[in-house]
Protein backbone atom coordinates (compact mmCIF):
# COMPACT_ATOMS: atom_id res chain seq x y z
CA UNK A 1 0.00 0.00 0.00
CA UNK A 2 0.96 3.61 -0.51
CA UNK A 3 2.05 6.08 2.12
CA UNK A 4 -0.93 8.17 3.26
CA UNK A 5 1.28 11.27 3.09
CA UNK A 6 1.27 10.91 -0.70
CA UNK A 7 -2.47 11.65 -0.80
CA UNK A 8 -3.78 15.16 -1.38
CA UNK A 9 -6.98 14.22 0.47
CA UNK A 10 -4.96 13.33 3.58
CA UNK A 11 -3.11 16.68 3.42
CA UNK A 12 -6.41 18.55 3.16
CA UNK A 13 -7.88 16.54 6.07
CA UNK A 14 -4.78 17.23 8.16
CA UNK A 15 -5.02 20.96 7.42
CA UNK A 16 -8.68 20.85 8.47
CA UNK A 17 -7.73 19.20 11.76
CA UNK A 18 -5.10 21.85 12.46
CA UNK A 19 -7.64 24.60 11.72
CA UNK A 20 -10.20 22.95 14.02
CA UNK A 21 -7.71 22.73 16.89
CA UNK A 22 -6.83 26.40 16.43
CA UNK A 23 -10.48 27.48 16.34
CA UNK A 24 -11.48 25.42 19.37
CA UNK A 25 -8.79 26.94 21.61
CA UNK A 26 -11.22 29.78 22.27
CA UNK A 27 -14.13 27.50 23.25
CA UNK A 28 -15.34 27.80 26.85
CA UNK A 29 -13.42 25.79 29.43
CA UNK A 30 -16.70 24.14 30.39
CA UNK A 31 -16.73 22.44 26.95
CA UNK A 32 -13.24 20.93 27.17
CA UNK A 33 -14.64 17.43 27.81
CA UNK A 34 -17.76 18.00 25.75
CA UNK A 35 -18.03 19.76 22.43
CA UNK A 36 -14.35 20.72 22.20
CA UNK A 37 -13.31 17.10 22.59
CA UNK A 38 -16.00 15.83 20.20
CA UNK A 39 -15.18 18.30 17.44
CA UNK A 40 -11.44 17.62 17.71
CA UNK A 41 -11.92 13.86 17.67
CA UNK A 42 -14.23 14.01 14.66
CA UNK A 43 -11.77 16.15 12.70
CA UNK A 44 -8.70 14.08 13.55
CA UNK A 45 -10.60 10.88 12.79
CA UNK A 46 -10.84 11.87 9.13
CA UNK A 47 -7.09 11.96 8.50
CA UNK A 48 -6.45 9.08 10.91
CA UNK A 49 -8.85 6.78 9.04
CA UNK A 50 -7.21 7.62 5.71
CA UNK A 51 -3.82 6.80 7.23
CA UNK A 52 -5.08 3.57 8.79
CA UNK A 53 -6.69 2.46 5.54
CA UNK A 54 -3.42 3.02 3.69
CA UNK A 55 -1.60 0.84 6.18
CA UNK A 56 -3.89 -2.17 6.01
CA UNK A 57 -2.66 -3.52 2.70
CA UNK A 58 -5.75 -3.74 0.54
CA UNK A 59 -7.79 -1.40 -1.59
CA UNK A 60 -10.99 -2.76 -0.01
CA UNK A 61 -9.76 -1.79 3.47
CA UNK A 62 -8.66 1.63 2.25
CA UNK A 63 -12.10 2.18 0.69
CA UNK A 64 -13.80 1.08 3.91
CA UNK A 65 -11.72 3.45 6.03
CA UNK A 66 -12.33 6.32 3.60
CA UNK A 67 -16.06 5.68 4.05
CA UNK A 68 -15.58 5.81 7.82
CA UNK A 69 -13.71 9.10 7.30
CA UNK A 70 -16.76 10.38 5.40
CA UNK A 71 -18.88 9.59 8.45
CA UNK A 72 -16.47 11.52 10.66
CA UNK A 73 -16.62 14.46 8.24
CA UNK A 74 -20.43 14.46 8.47
CA UNK A 75 -20.17 14.38 12.27
CA UNK A 76 -17.71 17.28 12.16
CA UNK A 77 -20.05 19.23 9.90
CA UNK A 78 -22.79 18.96 12.52
CA UNK A 79 -20.48 19.86 15.40
CA UNK A 80 -19.34 22.96 13.52
CA UNK A 81 -22.97 24.02 13.00
CA UNK A 82 -23.73 23.42 16.67
CA UNK A 83 -20.65 25.39 17.72
CA UNK A 84 -21.74 28.27 15.51
CA UNK A 85 -25.31 28.18 16.78
CA UNK A 86 -24.07 28.18 20.39
CA UNK A 87 -21.93 31.23 19.65
CA UNK A 88 -18.58 29.46 20.05
CA UNK A 89 -17.61 30.03 16.40
CA UNK A 90 -18.16 33.38 14.73
CA UNK A 91 -19.54 33.50 11.20
CA UNK A 92 -16.15 33.80 9.48
CA UNK A 93 -14.56 30.91 11.40
CA UNK A 94 -17.62 28.73 10.90
CA UNK A 95 -17.73 29.44 7.17
CA UNK A 96 -14.00 28.68 6.73
CA UNK A 97 -14.18 25.39 8.61
CA UNK A 98 -17.43 24.35 6.95
CA UNK A 99 -15.94 25.03 3.50
CA UNK A 100 -12.82 23.03 4.33
CA UNK A 101 -15.01 20.18 5.53
CA UNK A 102 -16.97 20.18 2.27
CA UNK A 103 -13.72 20.16 0.27
CA UNK A 104 -12.50 17.12 2.22
CA UNK A 105 -15.85 15.37 1.70
CA UNK A 106 -15.69 15.99 -2.05
CA UNK A 107 -12.10 14.76 -2.24
CA UNK A 108 -12.93 11.65 -0.21
CA UNK A 109 -15.95 10.95 -2.38
CA UNK A 110 -13.85 11.19 -5.55
CA UNK A 111 -11.13 9.03 -4.05
CA UNK A 112 -13.63 6.34 -3.05
CA UNK A 113 -15.13 6.33 -6.54
CA UNK A 114 -11.67 6.06 -8.11
CA UNK A 115 -10.73 3.19 -5.81
CA UNK A 116 -13.76 1.28 -7.11
CA UNK A 117 -12.42 1.41 -10.68
CA UNK A 118 -10.56 -1.86 -11.35
CA UNK A 119 -7.63 -0.33 -13.24
CA UNK A 120 -7.22 2.52 -10.75
CA UNK A 121 -7.43 0.31 -7.68
CA UNK A 122 -4.90 -2.10 -9.19
CA UNK A 123 -2.58 0.83 -9.94
CA UNK A 124 -2.87 1.99 -6.34
CA UNK A 125 -2.38 -1.53 -4.95
CA UNK A 126 0.79 -1.94 -7.00
CA UNK A 127 2.30 1.29 -5.72
CA UNK A 128 1.44 3.48 -8.68
CA UNK A 129 0.89 7.18 -8.36
CA UNK A 130 -1.83 7.76 -5.80
CA UNK A 131 -2.01 11.39 -6.82
CA UNK A 132 -2.94 10.32 -10.35
CA UNK A 133 -5.91 8.47 -8.91
CA UNK A 134 -7.46 11.63 -7.51
CA UNK A 135 -5.84 14.47 -9.43
CA UNK A 136 -8.57 14.78 -12.08
CA UNK A 137 -11.29 15.00 -9.47
CA UNK A 138 -9.64 17.45 -7.08
CA UNK A 139 -7.90 19.85 -9.42
CA UNK A 140 -10.63 22.43 -8.93
CA UNK A 141 -10.58 22.15 -5.15
CA UNK A 142 -6.97 23.08 -4.47
pLDDT of residue 63: 94
In this model, does residue 138 exceed pLDDT 60? no
In this model, does residue 5 exceed pLDDT 80? yes
**Which structural domains are found in the chain, ordered by start?**
4-141 (1.20.1440.60)
Question: Which DSSP string corresponds to 28-58?
Answer: -GGGTTTHHHHHHHHHHHHHHHHHHHHHTS-
* pLDDT averaged over every residue in the chain: 87
In whole angstroms, what is the distance from residue 78 CA to residue 90 CA? 15
In this model, does residue 137 exceed pLDDT 50? no
pLDDT of residue 134: 44
pLDDT of residue 96: 98
pLDDT of residue 131: 45
pLDDT of residue 130: 44
Residue range 106-111: mean pLDDT, rounded: 96
CB 24 within 8 A of CB 36: yes
Query: Would you say the pTM of this structure is higher than 0.85?
Result: no
Could you read off the pLDDT of 21-62 as tens digits, one per residue?
Answer: 999 999 999 999 999 999 999 999 999 999 999 998 789 999
What's the pLDDT band for 122 if we cut at 50, 70, 90? low
Using the 8-state DSSP alphabet, how is residue 130 labeled?
H
Alpha carbon dihedral 64, 65, 68, 73, in 10-degree steps, equals -130
Could you read off the pLDDT of 83-96 as tens digits, one per residue?
Answer: 999 999 999 999 99
Amino acid sequence: MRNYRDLAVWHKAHALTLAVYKATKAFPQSEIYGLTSQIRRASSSIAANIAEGCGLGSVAELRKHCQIAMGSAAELDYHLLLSHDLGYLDEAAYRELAELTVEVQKMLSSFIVRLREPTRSQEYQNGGSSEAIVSDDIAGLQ
